Structure 1
Amino acid sequence: MSDFARDRRLLDALAELSVEAGRAILDVYEGGSIEARAKDDRSPVTDADERAEAILIAGLDKLMPGVPVIAEEASSRDGVRSDAPPAFLLVDPLDGTREFLAKNGEFTVNIGYVENGEPVLGCVFAPALGALWIGSIALGAKAARAGLREIPSSDAYQPIAARHAADAALCAVASRSHSDPTTEEFLSTLNVASRRSAGSSLKFCLVAEGEADVYPRFGPTMEWDTAAGHAVLAAAGGAVLKPDGSPFGYGKAEDGFRNGPFVAWGARG
C-alpha cells in the first residue's frame, strides 16, 4: 500500500475515532458540574480524560495492531515506557483540561503517529467547537466544521495551508493558560503586529490554517501534547523547530517523553 493510500485510510479512521472519543467528553462536559482530581504531577484529570482515552486505545489497537500507543493517562497511571520504538502513536485524550474545566470550548483530542522521530500523520478534534483537522506529509492538511457529535462528511473538508507572512507583520499565538517570561522575551525579538490566545493544540491549528504565523512554547509540554498538532502543521507547510532552528523530534524516552522548548512557524522562505 502506498503512503498516499495508507494515510487516507488512517486519517479517515482517526477522524471517526476522535469524534467517538469526543462524544464521551461531551457527555461529561454537558452533564453539569465536573469533578477534577489531581495527578501526581498536580495536573488535573477528569472522568472525560479517562473515558476518551479508553475509547482511543481500544480503537487504535484495532486500527493499527502492534503499533505501540503512548497515552497521557496510561503513562501517568502506569509509568512512561523506557524506550522509543521506530514507529508509535502519541495520544492525548483531552488536551487542555484546564480549558475543559473553564468550559470555554478550547480543548482537543490529539492523535499523532510518529516514524523515526518525526510526526508524519495527525488528527486534532475540538469536540465543543465541532472542528477537526487532519494531515499527513503525503496528503497535506485539511479541516472540517461539523456538528458537535458528527463525523464530517468527505465534502465538509477544505484544504488548509500555512501562510507566508511578512516578517514585519507577524501574528503570534500564545497559550491561554501557560504564559511565561521566556515566551514573552522571545516574542519581543519578533516584529509582532497582532496576538491571539488559545488553549490546547488549537494553537498549532491556527498556524496551520494561516490564522497566525508563530507559536512559541518555552514552558513544559509532553510529546502527546504536541505530536498531532505538529503533524497537521507540517502537512500544511509549516514547521516546528527548536528555538535555535534545529529539528524538533520525538521519541525522547531518556527524558520521559518530555519536550524542550519549541517554536511553531508558518510557511517560511
Structure 2
Amino acid sequence: MYNYICETCGVQYKSTNKVPEQCLICEEERQYVSSKGQNWTTLETLLESGKYKNIVKLEEENLYSLTTAPGFGIGQTAYLVQNKNFNVLWDCITYLDQTTSKTINDLGGIDAIALSHPHYYSSQVEWAETFNAPIYIHEDDKEWVTRPSEKIIFWSGESFELCEGVTLQRIGGHFKGGTVVEWKNGNNQNGVLLCGDIVRIVADRQWVSFMYSYPNFIPLPSKTVERIAARLNKMNFARLYDAFNRVVKVEADQRVQRSATRYIEALNGTLFQT
C-alpha cells in the first residue's frame, strides 16, 4: 500500500495498492495534466533519490519560508508563523525529511496547519502526523481532499481565529473556499497577509492579480474581484507574501485595492483600447 503523489501538482493520495488512474486536482480546469502525461511517485521514493532538500529561511521576525530545492510539483512556498508560542504552518510542500523536522522542532514545532486551497494540500497529512498538528481547511473545499485524515478540521463561515492575532479569512475566488491568513502581530504590529495565490503578486511587485486559473489564464469575473477587494479592505495588513515567495513590503493593503480597481477596469473595457 502506497500513498501516491502526483508529480505535476505534488498532492498526495490515500493509500492504495495500485497507481491512481488520474489526479483529481490536475484533471480540473484550474490545473493541468503534464504534457508528458500523468506520472506518480511516493514520498519514500523522493527521500531515497537524495535529490531534494528543504530550505528554511528567516523572512522577517517570527516568519520563516519553506521551499524545496530543486522545485517539485507546483513549487510553492510554505510559511511558518511564530505567534505568541503558537506556531502555524501556512500552506504545505510535498517533501518532508528528518532534517526539516528537526529544524522546525528547533523553532518550536507546529501547533496548527492551515491551507489556502487544494493546489497546496500536497502531503499535508504527513506533516500533520509528524508534528501531531491539526489541519484547518475551509469546508467549501472538502471535496478536493485526496487523503482523508482525522487530523483535518473543516471550518465554516467567513473567518476563523486560530489564535490571538492569527485569523483565517475565506475570500473565495480561485477556489470557493479560498483562504488567506491575516496575521495582525506581524511586521511590527503593522500586519501581514499570507495569501497563497488566492491573491498573486505579479512581476511588477507593486501590483497583484486575481485568477480563477493561473496556468490556463482564466480570469475571475469583476463582481468576484469587487467582493474580494471589499473583504480585504477590512483586514489589517501592510505587507503581503504570496505562494511563490514574492513580497509586497509596504502599503500592501493600498496596492491590493489599486490592483483590484485596475483588474475590474480591464475586464469592463475601460482601462485601455486595443
Same fold? TM cut 0.5:
no
* TM-score of the two chains, using structure 1 as the length reference: 0.31
Q: Higher relative contact order by CA 8 Å / sep ≥ 6: 1 or 2?
A: 1
The structure carrying a bigger helix percent of its residues is 1
Larger Rg computed on CA atoms? 2
* TM-score of the two chains, using structure 2 as the length reference: 0.30
